[in-house]
Structure 1
Amino acid sequence: MDHLKLAYSLAGAFVGFMVGLTGVGGGSLMAPILILLGFSPAVAVGTDLWFACLTKAVGGVVHHHLGSPDWKTVGRLAAGSLPAAVVTLWWLANYHHGHLESKVLMDLLGVALLITAALMLFRNRIARPLRVAHVALEQTLRRVRFSQIVMTVLGGAFVGALVTLTSVGAGALIAVMLALIYPLRLDAKSIVGTDIIHAIPLTLVAALGHSWLGNVDGWLLGSLLIGSIPGIVLGSLIAGKVNDNIVRYALAAMLVVSAVKMLA
């Protein structure tokens, strides 16, 4: 019982709630929190991947019941992200003894958090002109659809590699990317559902790989899950009922603070 620290469970509840509410926050918030609590970056990333996988599996059940995921888009994302995750794990195992050096990983994590925060803040400004462009290109809809498929697969591959290295991106980057690529097809609720469902197989593959590489703390994971399961159920049930701008600005601010800590 000594291992089941209250602070870890509270952190799990907070992050789980944010994931259920927005689809964002799993790796972006949990990995920095674990590092700040004293865990090594490699263990923080590996344990966080299992946390994200199991937590989002619960949230995914809720969102599937509500009918919000776009399964075709989930498949396109997975076609890029899952192979990229496997290749990244092979690269870590064969060239970096299972994980990047702590300083390199901290810097990469900090940069990923800053990029995520910036995309969250400016998503709407970028999405509006894209929405206008999609309407104007209705006559060439087939060409637009092909470009969407290519961008989704390539974007999934980039996120798959980034998530495997840092545990960041499965939620925040995918959510922003979907809003930009599908400004007409996906509404806010569908983006959250699609984001969470896609993150389940991606984080599972990455988590299994990190377990094989020895980067997972099982007792810590149990402590986090005690809080996260009720947190993500609550967040998923009220998704779409909270002002999106308030949540987005608050998350972006937390990510910037975390990034500064990582890069310091």
Structure 2
Amino acid sequence: MDVGNFGFVVAGLIVGFVVGMTGVGGGSLMTPILLWFGINPATAVGTDLLYAAITKSGGVWVHKKNDNIDWKITGWLTLGSVPAVAVTLWFLSHLHADAQAMNAVIKQALGVVLLLTAMAILFKKQLLAFAQKHAGDHYSLSDRNLNGLTVVTGVVLGVMVALTSIGAGALGTVALFLLYPFLPTRRLVGTEIAHAVPLTLVAGLGHASMGNMDWHLLGFLLMGSLPGIYIGSHLTGRIPDGVLRPCLAVMLVAIGYKLAF
């Protein structure tokens, strides 16, 4: 294994460790790291999408075993996200002939979504408190409107994830908390992960069909991330969440600002 490939293993280990400790930061860290390594933006996004699909599949198995998934909500999200992924990939395929234009669109979108993700991580507690405080207000949604908003949320997540590989984690979880404040946290997290797997898989395969995939790179990332997730999950709580989340958010703001502006 040469030095470059070893660097990808280390990158996978670091990202897996952060994800294991905090539950967030997978795509929002991995894609910028791949750009830092000089990987083409489109290839970085496509590779990270399949990386996310594989790593989150294990999470689905665990959450399903513990009955932490609301399949109805997952279905409404998928109803919006998968068609949105298809349309976004169609759009990117028309830019594919002009690699410079496609990479410019992806980098700009990456910057914006990273900034939104940083805000979601930094203000997560305040957003959740707001959602729970107003959950019983008179303007609470009917089932029909709630299902419609869930589909719209899926559409937004689908576009963001297909463009950038980021958004299904932190932003998806916050959106679900705002829509379903009475649902237990463990079921919201499990539902978000269950939705993220088909979303990232379809988007990843779509990018792969356009040649935006490096299979060897994917293998090295998984080689590092799987033990990283295992170690990080066993160290959860050792470093205060109030320290980890602001540090992660500040880093994402810096990266997002550089990419967007």
TM-score by length of 2: 0.88
Partner Cα distance (2:97, 2:4) in 1: 30
Deviation per residue, 1:12-43 (Å, 9 max, x gap): 12222333444422221110000011111111
What are the ranges of 5 or more consecutive residues in structure 2 without an aligned counterpart?
A: none
Distance 1:65 1:240, change over 3 A: farther
| Count of matched residue pairs | 260
The partner residue of 1:211 within 208, 213, 218 is 208
Partner Cα distance (1:46, 1:146) in 2: 35
- What secondary structure, in the 3-state scheme, does the structure 2 residue paired with 1:185 have? coil
- What secondary structure, in the 3-state scheme, does the structure 2 residue paired with 1:101 have? helix
The partner residue of 2:149 within 118, 126, 151 is 151
> What is aligned with 2:83?
83
> What is aligned with 2:17?
17
> What is aligned with 2:133?
132
> What is aligned with 2:74?
74
- What secondary structure, in the 3-state scheme, does the structure 2 residue paired with 1:56 have? helix
Q: Is 1:36 aligned to 2:70, yes or no?
A: no
Partner Cα distance (1:248, 1:229) in 2: 22
Deviation per residue, 1:72-125 (Å, 9 max, x gap): 222221111111111111222235438653233212211110011112222332
Shift of 1:168: 0.9
Distance 1:32 1:262, change over 3 A: same
Shift of 1:171: 0.9
The partner residue of 1:186 within 184, 199, 202 is 184
What are the ranges of 5 or more consecutive residues in structure 1 without an aligned counterpart?
A: none
TM-score by length of 1: 0.87
Q: Which amino acid aligns with 2:112?
A: V
Distance 1:207 1:42, change over 3 A: same
Partner Cα distance (1:135, 1:81) in 2: 28
Question: Contact (CA 8 Å) 2:128, 2:174: kept in 1 or not?
Answer: no
Distance 1:232 1:147, change over 3 A: farther
> What is aligned with 2:49?
49
Aligned residues with identical type, % of pairs: 45
Q: Which moved more, 1:60-69 or 1:106-115?
A: 60-69
Distance 1:52 1:151, change over 3 A: same
